[in-house]
Amino acid sequence: MSATNDMLNIKGVDSFYGASRALFGVSFDVHRGDSVALLGRNGAGKSTTLKSIMGLADVRNGIIQVSGHPARGCRPEHIARLGVAYVPEDRQVFRRQSVEANLTLGMKAGADGVREWTLERVYSVFPMLWDARRKGAGTLSGGQQQMLVIARALLGNPLIMLLDEPSQGLSPLVMDQLQLLLQQLRQAGMTLVLAEQNTRFCMGVASRAVVINQGSVVFDDDIAAFNADEALRHRYLAA
């Protein structure tokens, strides 16, 4: 892997759904160890940005690099091998398979050949999954399924994790548990990018904020600057 401190470089990205343009020259960088919140109203382009990085959207212009490696136009499995894990909004568990079967499907060495995340480590961080390991994944609550897909992503030993609306549909208690988990991952050095509508949830996790409005980046700065800009929050995030 490249020795660059940039985990992601995104420059001038235009993405489309058929003839409809969804992203307009989106640009931002993610440094190693960053925790970046992509914020914006519903339909602003947050999820499309993650899908563009992951090779799941039609990117027609721009540059996408993962640790210095070109990624635009690559298939999702190639991008995963570069060290990117993607946790989709709809979770996508294999409902009829056991929790442990879901976890083992994601197991692989990282892009650097290291296996820092093992099944044993996942069970120590997610004791609930150990207790439910023989249950069908479809029997878990929404919050438990969210923990399952994050744990499955970690077992791929990624360098960066993309999470699409991770707090959506969760109870306040489970949301707090998830926030604590992401804080722990950040402290352990994991690079995170969260596409979220829930600003409060992100404040306890993110080091930077990138605000997207109508497919364009309108703000990119650290969390302190974001918190200080009440006019920006009211204009682009207020319901």
Q: What whole-number distance in Å separates Cα of residue 163 and Cα of residue 150?
A: 9
Q: Cβ(217)–Cβ(210) under 8 Å? A: yes
Q: What whole-number distance in Å separates Cα of residue 88 and Cα of residue 163?
A: 6
Confidence at residue 89, expressed as pLDDT on a 0 to 100 scale: 87
Confidence at residue 138, expressed as pLDDT on a 0 to 100 scale: 93
Q: What whole-number distance in Å separates Cα of residue 24 and Cα of residue 215?
A: 5
Confidence at residue 3, expressed as pLDDT on a 0 to 100 scale: 46
Report mean pLDDT in 10-residue bins for the chain, 239 residues. 74 96 98 96 96 97 96 95 92 91 92 89 93 95 92 95 92 90 91 94 93 98 95 88
Parallel, antiparallel or unpaired: strands 160-164 and 58-66: unpaired
| Nearest of 139, 124, 158 to residue 94 by alpha carbon | 139
Helix (H, G, I), strand (E, B) or coil at 77: helix
Confidence at residue 1, expressed as pLDDT on a 0 to 100 scale: 39
DSSP state of 137: G
DSSP state of 197: S
Confidence at residue 168, expressed as pLDDT on a 0 to 100 scale: 87
Confidence at residue 239, expressed as pLDDT on a 0 to 100 scale: 52
Sign of CA dihedral 133, 171, 182, 158: positive
Token pair listed for 87: 């946790």
Class of the CATH domain delimited by 33-56+83-236? alpha beta
| pLDDT tens-digit readout, 164-201 | 999 988 889 889 999 999 999 999 899 999 999 999 99
Token pair listed for 160: 């960066």
Confidence at residue 91, expressed as pLDDT on a 0 to 100 scale: 77
Q: Cβ(210)–Cβ(28) under 8 Å? A: yes
Q: The whole model's pTM is what?
A: 0.92
| pLDDT tens-digit readout, 32-51 | 999 999 999 999 999 999 99
Q: Cβ(182)–Cβ(196) under 8 Å? A: no
Q: What whole-number distance in Å separates Cα of residue 222 and Cα of residue 210?
A: 9
| Nearest of 51, 65, 50 to residue 9 by alpha carbon | 65
40: left (phi over 0), alpha (psi -120 to 50) or beta: left
DSSP state of 98: B
Token pair listed for 19: 């003839």
Q: Strand pairing partners for 219? A: 211
Sign of CA dihedral 101, 102, 103, 104: positive
